[in-house]
Every structure is written in C-alpha cells, then in structure tokens.
C-alpha cells in the first residue's frame, strides 16, 4: 500500500474533531439554555459563546496534552490523529461537565421559581383584599424584583406613573409575609435600602 493511501486513511479517520466541535457547541448551547449552570436562565447568544469558549479551551488544553500523551503511547498513530482523538474526548468531557453542573443546579432553579410563584400569589391575594379598584384591575402588570433569598419587592401600577403600590414579600414563611413599602418608586429605578 503506497504511503499516500495510508495518509489518506489516517486523515479520514482523524478529521472528525472540528465537525464534532461545531455540533457539540450547538448542542451544549441548547443544554446551557434549558439547563443553566448559574442563575435562572441563559440566553441563546450567551450560551453559544460560553459553549464555544469552553469547547475551545478543552480542545486546546486537554486535547493538546492528551494528544501528546496518546502519540507517545502509540507511536504508530500520527500526531494529528492523536490530537483529534484527544480533542474529541475533551469535547465529551466538556459536555458531560455542563450536563452534570446543570442537573446539580436544577433543584435551586425549581426552588427559586416556586418562591417567585408563591410571592406572586400572595401579592394577588393581598391586592384582592387590601387594594383599591385600580390596583385590583392592574395587578396583572405587577413588576417583581428579587432583593435577597426569599425576599421580593413587587410593585403594582397606580394612576400616577411615578407612584406605585409596592409590597415587600418574605417567602421564608408560610404563608408569605407581606409588608407595604413606604417607597413608591417603581422597580425600574429602585435601589434597595434593606441591606
């Protein structure tokens, strides 16, 4: 078998790193979007950038070192092919780490969403009992921000756009404790003074 055929065979067997890189980056972007490793959500562009950066770092660091070690252990394997094999293993490691981190973070996201839903229900109930007709009519436009763990500030619009009905909700208790906030500024310009 001529040398050129051997080279062609190795190139065909070892040329899967970069197509795999593209596919892994797209799949990991979806994974980061639906199963974030931090916060409650990751946007598509941010997920694509994070996945691409981590994959590139994995291919360069783990793939480079792994390719060197693999080439030393198997002398018959060309360096390029060894680098490709090690790079693909690195891509698998990055995907596995992102999946595990997302699964570990999932219960925290579920708890935060349950807290947010509880405070939203509590505000609606409070407005139904204590709010005026305008507040009851506009409670669907309420705006909430998280101030701390189990502490939210929810503002309901009033006729004056600069003066909102704002409530501080503590979800660490059952039912959530609600206190009227003296500040009437909306959450868009609000700077917390509770800390």
Q: What is the pLDDT of residue 8?
A: 63
Q: What is the pLDDT of residue 195?
A: 43
Do 181 and 168 meet the contact criterion of CB atoms below 8 Å apart? yes
Which of 110, 144, 174 is the endpoint of a domain?
A: 110
Q: What is the pLDDT of residue 35?
A: 93
Residue 38 to residues 78, 81, 97, 101, 115, Cα–Cα distance (Å): 40, 35, 13, 9, 17
Together in a domain, 8 and 91: yes
Task: Report helix, strand or coil for 147.
Answer: strand
Phi-psi map region of 173: left, alpha, beta (phi>0 left; psi -120 to 50 alpha): beta
In a domain, 121, yes or no: no
Together in a domain, 58 and 106: yes
Q: How many CB atoms lie within 10 A of CB 123?
A: 23
In a domain, 116, yes or no: no
Together in a domain, 98 and 152: no
Together in a domain, 15 and 71: yes
In a domain, 139, yes or no: yes
In a domain, 11, yes or no: yes
What strands, in cross-sheet order, belong to the sheet with 165-170? 143-148, 151-156, 165-170, 177-180
Q: What is the pLDDT of residue 9?
A: 62
Together in a domain, 40 and 96: yes
- 142 backbone dihedrals φ, ψ, rounded to 5°: -60, 145
In a domain, 122, yes or no: no
Together in a domain, 95 and 156: no
Together in a domain, 65 and 143: no
Instruction: Note the Cα 164 to chain centre separation in Å.
Output: 31
d(CA 6, CA 3): 5
Q: What is the pLDDT of residue 10?
A: 57
In a domain, 162, yes or no: yes
Together in a domain, 92 and 41: yes
Per-residue pLDDT tens digits of the chain, which is 195 residues long:
566 666 666 566 657 888 999 999 999 999 999 999 988 889 999 999 999 999 999 999 998 899 899 889 998 888 888 888 899 999 999 999 999 999 999 999 898 888 899 999 999 999 999 888 888 888 888 888 888 888 899 999 888 877 888 899 999 888 898 998 888 888 787 666 554
Considering its fold, how many domains does the chain have in total?
A: 2
Q: What is the pLDDT of residue 7?
A: 63
Q: Report whether the peptide linkage leading into residue 47 is cis, meaning its omega lies within 30 degrees of zero.
A: no
Q: What is the pLDDT of residue 87?
A: 93
In a domain, 164, yes or no: yes
Phi-psi map region of 150: left, alpha, beta (phi>0 left; psi -120 to 50 alpha): left
Range of the domain at 148: 131-189
Together in a domain, 161 and 99: no
Q: What is the pLDDT of residue 192?
A: 63
């Amino acid at each position: 078998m001529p040398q050129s055929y051997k080279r062609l065979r190795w190139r065909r067997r070892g040329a899967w790193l970069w197509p795999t890189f593209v596919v892994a980056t797209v799949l990991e972007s979806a994974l980061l979007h639906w199963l974030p490793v931090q916060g409650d959500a990751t946007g598509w562009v941010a997920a694509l950038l994070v996945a691409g950066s981590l994959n590139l770092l994995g291919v360069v660091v783990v793939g480079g070192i792994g390719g060197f070690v693999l080439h030393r252990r198997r002398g018959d394997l060309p360096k390029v092919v060894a680098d490709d094999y090690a790079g693909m293993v690195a891509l698998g490691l990055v995907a596995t780490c992102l999946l595990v981190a997302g699964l570990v973070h999932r219960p925290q996201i579920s708890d935060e969403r349950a807290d947010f839903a509880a405070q939203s229900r509590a505000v609606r109930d409070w407005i139904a009992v204590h709010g005026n007709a305008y507040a009851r009519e506009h409670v669907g436009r309420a705006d909430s921000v998280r101030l701390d763990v189990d502490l939210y500030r929810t503002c309901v619009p009033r006729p004056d756009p600069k003066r909102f009905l704002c409530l501080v909700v503590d979800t660490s208790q059952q039912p959530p404790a609600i206190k009227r906030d003296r500040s009437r500024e909306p959450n868009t310009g609000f700077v917390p003074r509770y800390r």
